[in-house]
Structure 1
C-alpha cells in the first residue's frame, strides 16, 4: 500500500492532482483544502496517501496532514459515506470544523455539504459522536519539503526522499560525495546512478 508520496506537483484539477515521483505520475484525489495548499507546479511536495483498492480500480487519496487523513478514514466507516463524499465533507469543513460540528450535534452544518442529506447527517452524528474527540484537528498545512536543488544533487535528493531518507540527513552526504567524485576526476560526479549508489552506501552505515 502507498502511504506517502514525495515528488513534483504536476497538474492540479478541481478534485485531484498528479504527483510525479521519479518520472511516474500518480493521480491523487484530494479535497479542495489540500489542493489549495499544494505548491505551484512543478515544485516538490509531500502528501500523505490513503490507498483504496476496488475490484475495478486502484485509487489514491491525498491529504495535507495526518488530521485530514484520519478524518477521511473515520468518515468512510459510516455507511453511505464513500471516499468521494468524505472528500466533499473535508473540502467544506476543516478537521477542526468537522469535530466541532459532531460535538455540537449540528445536523444543519453537515447537510450544507453537497450530498449529505438529513438522514445521513444523523447517522454521521450518531456513529461518530464517541469517536470524534479522539482524533487530531491539525492546521491543514502540507508537510513541508525544501525546494529541490538544481542538477544531479537535486535529482539524487529527490530519489533518496522517495526511499524514505530525510533531506536534512541526506544532503550533507550527497554534497560530500559529489565533491569527492569531482576531486577524484573520475568523470562520475554527474552520473546519477553512481551518486545514488554511493549515497545509499554511506546512509546505510
Structure 2
C-alpha cells in the first residue's frame, strides 16, 4: 500500500496531478480542496495517498491533509458512494463543512454537490454519523481556509485557457457541461484555474 508520497510536483491539471519521486512519475487524482493547497509546479510536495486496486486499473488518490484522506475512506464505505463521488464531495466542501452538514442534518447543502441527490444526502447523514474518525472536524477552517490557500499559492506554469481548464475540471467532478459553464459565467476573468473553480463552487453552494 502506498500511504504517502514526497517529491516534485511536475504537473497540475485538476483533478489530476503528477508527482516525480526519484525519477518515477506518480499520477494521482485529487479533490479541488487539495489542488488549491498545492505549491507551484516544480516545488516539493508531500501528500497522503490512498491506493485503489481494481481489476482494470490501479488508481492513486492524493490528499493535502490526513483528515481529508480519513474522510475519503469513510465516504467510500457508504453504500452507493465510490471514489469519484467522494472526491466530488471533498471538492465542494472541506472536512469541517461536511461534518457540520451531518451534525445539522443539512440535506440542502449536500444536494448542491454534483451526483448527490436527496436520497444520497440522507444516506450520507445517517451512515456517516457513526463513521467519523476521532477528530473534531475543525481543521481546515471551511471556506476561509480555501481562500487563504488560493491567495497564498504561487502561480503555476501558464495555462492556455484557465476558463476552459476550470470548466473541464468541473465536468470531471460530475457537473454537466452546461451547468459548469453557468457556474463560471459570472466569475471574474483573469483568475487562475484553481481560483475560478473555487469561485464557481462558492457561488454554487451559496445559491
Cα shift at 1:59: 0.6
Q: SS of the counterpart of 2:56?
A: coil
Counterpart for residue 36 of structure 2: 36
The whole-number CA distance in structure 2 between the counterparts of 1:134 and 1:5 is: 24
How many residue pairs align between the two structures? 142
The whole-number CA distance in structure 2 between the counterparts of 1:107 and 1:134 is: 23
The whole-number CA distance in structure 2 between the counterparts of 1:127 and 1:89 is: 15
The whole-number CA distance in structure 2 between the counterparts of 1:36 and 1:93 is: 12
Deviations, residues 28-64 of structure 1 (Å, cap 9, x unaligned): 1000110111110111010000111011110100001
Counterpart for residue 107 of structure 1: 107
The whole-number CA distance in structure 2 between the counterparts of 1:78 and 1:65 is: 21
Cα shift at 1:10: 1.1
TM-score, reference length from structure 2: 0.65
Counterpart contact for 2:9–2:19, Cα < 8 Å = yes
Distance 1:117 1:65, change over 3 A: same
Cα shift at 1:133: 7.0
Q: Superposition pairs for residues 1-205 of structure 1, below 5 Å?
A: 1-132=1-132, 134-137=134-137, 138-139=139-140
Structure 1 regions of 5+ residues with no counterpart?
Answer: 143-205
TM-score, reference length from structure 1: 0.66
Which structure would you say has the larger Rg? 1
Structure 2 regions of 5+ residues with no counterpart?
Answer: 150-207
The whole-number CA distance in structure 2 between the counterparts of 1:51 and 1:136 is: 25
The whole-number CA distance in structure 2 between the counterparts of 1:14 and 1:45 is: 16
Cα shift at 1:132: 3.1
Deviations, residues 79-131 of structure 1 (Å, cap 9, x unaligned): 11100110110011110000000000111111010000111111111111233
Structural RMSD (CA): 1.7
Counterpart contact for 2:76–2:86, Cα < 8 Å = yes
